[in-house]
């Protein structure tokens, strides 16, 4: 018994050591990899933004609360429904004060310190919202675009989420403040943020700014009489901060006291960019000490990604895959095929590319002529049972057609494929039936014609003056014509007795 326990303990220790040594391990259920640590956030996902490749995810489809990350969707709707964000102005009205007073001064509210009666451009409001999570700015923007109706604006948010492809997201307000029905997922927030970065002009510019100074001036806030200066709430972008991360930029933070911390950030090094989404990171550790797990998780995932992944050529466009038979070729009975293009992918350095399965499929009955570059099949690359890439397989060279071989092959295949049910068999039966029908029709037509035929009066031509002919007298042509007449009654000939009587 003791020996068995020692063996089990030794196995567990060895497993832990291997897990710590290998920075990448295969996650069997999907084409993702697992880092040698566990993130504290409830859910998270990291994607290579250049290729759109997700390299790691945790509870990516589990519904969580977006908190102030909802303001990313607020920004999308505003920027897509305001044609001139730089010159369109909004004055924060008294309704904003009433709105926030009804929230009983929740600790989750973030202010950009914009006072009632202050007028700013839409651009300035967007900076205030995305950099500081300013709920006052979010309220002003949603009220303006929604024509005073928060319900109308929220509907625009939800409609946009569906259009982007979100399946687990539902918005209730534009500020991101707590509501039990306001939910999202890490994967949906990835889709929303990726859409904003790629499809919404100037979103990246605003959401990744470290600091912004307004030209508009406040009428009510004393320190902003000469304008506001807003700093991004993501401390990973501050060089003098303990959590500074080289290459990090923006995009959004969001906290709810009863839920946890959320973070979405970009990071770029050596031309490679990653997007990290983390939801529901605890505020404290097991001992009740304040911790910034959302930043620790982000730094850990980014360090792992930058150190463990690189672009690799998984298969080159000069690699010959197979030799395929060709019928009717003049100089060759086969053709080589290769990938149409090289497959370059982001790949974990410590996972051998030989683990990737190459699965080719080929066209059937390949016949000449073939031109170099003709598509003759397809090649799929599979990893952990999932297709990770594919490319057409093309001919390496030309194969000309042999007229003799082609005709022989066509003749042979015509008959070899003429079994019951084949095209030839069906055609032959059809042609036979048509032939029989035609013959029967001809017989019937002939029979019908004979039945309808009537006997015509015979026309008999006899000389008008037999004597003239018998005396060998010359008769001119005109007389000759007159010398013949119709016999009446018709007779075919005169017998000898008649002749004697006439004489």
For the ranges 225-239, 293-307, 472-486, the lowest mean pLDDT is seen at: 472-486
Per-residue pLDDT, 30: 52
Confidence class of residue 425 from pLDDT cuts 50, 70 and 90? Answer: low
Average pLDDT value for the chain = 84
Which tokens hold the place of 494? 């005169």
pLDDT at 415: 56
pLDDT given at position 464 = 52
Phi, psi at residue 203, to the nearest 5°? -60, -50
pLDDT digits (tens, 9 = 90+) for 176-221: 999 999 999 999 999 999 999 999 999 999 999 999 999 999 998 9
| DSSP letters for 441-476 | HHHHHHHHHHHH--PPPP--EEES-HHHHHTT----
CA distance 175 to 126: 12
Say what the pLDDT of residue 323 is: 92
Question: Residue 94: what pLDDT?
Answer: 81
Residue 259 and residue 65 in contact, taking contact as beta carbons nearer than 8 Å: yes
| pLDDT the model gives residue 490 | 53
β-strand pairing of 375-383 with 386-395: antiparallel
3-state secondary structure of 350: coil
234-238-241 Cα angle (round to 5) = 100
Instruction: Report the percentage of the chain scoring pLDDT > 90.
Output: 60
Confidence class for position 121, pLDDT limits 50, 70, 90: very high
Lowest mean pLDDT, pick from 81-95, 99-113, 235-249: 99-113
Instruction: Assess contact for 52 and 67: CB atoms under 8 A.
Output: no
Residue 21 predicted with pLDDT over 50: no
Contacts of 265 (CB under 8 A, 6+ apart): 234, 236, 248, 249, 250, 251, 275, 276, 298
**What are the structural domains, with CATH classification, of the chain?**
32-310 (3.40.710.10), 316-401 (2.60.410.10), 404-439 (no CATH), 461-502 (no CATH)
Q: What are phi and psi of 424, to 5 degrees?
A: -65, -45
pLDDT at 93 over 80: yes
Answer left, alpha or beta for residue 39, where phi above 0 means left and psi between -120 and 50 means alpha.
Answer: beta
Region 80-102 average pLDDT: 90
Q: Is the pLDDT of residue 101 over 60?
A: yes
| pLDDT, position 13 | 42
Instruction: Please count the CA atoms within 13 angstroms of the CA of 285 that sit on its side-chain side.
Output: 8
* Cα of 342 vs its chain's centroid, Å: 20
Long-range contacts of 224-231, Cβ-Cβ distance < 8 Å, separation of 24 or more = 224/113, 228/112, 228/113, 228/114, 228/124, 228/128, 230/112, 230/127, 230/128, 230/131, 230/132, 230/134, 231/131, 231/132
Average pLDDT of span 3-7: 49
- Look-up of token digits 């990726």: 194
The dihedral sign for the CA sequence 17, 18, 22, 28: negative
Backbone angles phi, psi at 257, to 5 degrees: -60, -35
Most confident of 31-40, 77-86, 358-367, 472-481: 77-86
- The angle at the Cα of 266, spanning 306 to 79, to the nearest 5 degrees, equals 155
- Say yes or no to pLDDT of 494 above 60: no
How many C-beta atoms lie closer than 10 Å to residue 78's C-beta?
27
- pLDDT at 258 > cutoff 60: yes
- Say what the pLDDT of residue 469 is: 47
């Amino acid at each position: 018994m003791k020996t068995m326990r020692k063996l089990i303990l030794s196995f567990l220790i060895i497993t832990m050591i291997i897990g710590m040594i290998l920075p990448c391990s295969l996650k069997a259920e999907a084409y993702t990899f697992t880092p040698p640590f566990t993130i504290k956030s409830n859910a998270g996902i990291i994607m290579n933004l250049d290729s759109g490749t997700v390299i790691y995810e945790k509870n990516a489809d589990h519904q969580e609360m977006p908190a102030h990350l909802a303001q990313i969707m607020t920004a999308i709707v505003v920027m897509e429904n305001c044609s001139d964000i730089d010159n369109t102005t909004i004055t924060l009205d008294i309704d904003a004060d009433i709105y926030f007073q009804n929230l009983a001064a929740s600790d989750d509210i973030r202010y950009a310190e914009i006072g009632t009666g202050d007028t700013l451009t839409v651009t300035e409001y967007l900076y205030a919202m995305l950099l500081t999570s300013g709920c006052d700015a979010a309220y002003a923007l949603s009220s303006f675009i929604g024509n005073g109706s928060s319900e109308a604006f929220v509907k625009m948010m939800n409609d946009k989420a569906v259009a982007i492809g979100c399946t687990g997201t539902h918005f209730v307000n534009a500020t991101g403040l707590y509501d039990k029905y306001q939910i999202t997922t890490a994967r949906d927030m990835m889709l929303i943020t990726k859409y904003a970065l790629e499809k919404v002009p100037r979103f990246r510019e605003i959401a990744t700014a470290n600091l912004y100074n307004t030209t508009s001036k406040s009428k009510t806030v004393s320190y902003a009489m000469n304008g506001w200066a807003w700093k991004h709430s993501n401390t990973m972008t501050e060089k003098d901060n303990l959590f500074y991360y080289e290459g990090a930029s923006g995009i959004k933070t969001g906290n709810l006291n009863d839920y946890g911390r959320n973070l979405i950030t970009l990071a770029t090094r050596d031309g490679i960019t990653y997007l990290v989404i983390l939801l529901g990171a605890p505020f404290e550790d097991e001992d009740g000490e304040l911790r910034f797990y959302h930043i620790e998780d982000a730094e850990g995932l980014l360090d792992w990604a930058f150190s463990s992944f690189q672009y690799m050529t998984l298969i080159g466009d000069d690699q010959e895959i197979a030799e395929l038979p060709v019928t009717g070729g003049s100089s060759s009975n086969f053709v080589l095929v290769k990938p149409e293009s090289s497959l370059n992918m982001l790949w974990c350095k410590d996972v051998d590319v030989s683990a990737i399965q190459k699965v080719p499929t080929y066209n059937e009955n390949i016949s000449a002529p073939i031109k170099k570059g003709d598509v003759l099949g397809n090649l799929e690359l599979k990893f952990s049972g999932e297709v990770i890439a594919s490319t057409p397989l093309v001919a390496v060279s030309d194969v000309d057609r042999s007229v003799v071989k082609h005709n022989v092959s066509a003749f042979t295949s015509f008959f070899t494929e003429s079994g019951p049910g084949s095209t030839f068999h069906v055609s032959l039966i059809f042609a036979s039936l048509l032939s029989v029908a035609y013959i029967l029709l001809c017989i019937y037509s002939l029979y019908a014609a004979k039945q309808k035929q009537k006997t015509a009066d015979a026309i008999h031509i006899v000389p008008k003056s037999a004597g003239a002919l018998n005396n060998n007298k010359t008769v001119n042509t005109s007389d000759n014509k007159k010398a013949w007449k119709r016999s009446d009654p018709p007779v075919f000939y005169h017998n000898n007795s008649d002749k004697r009587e006439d004489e």
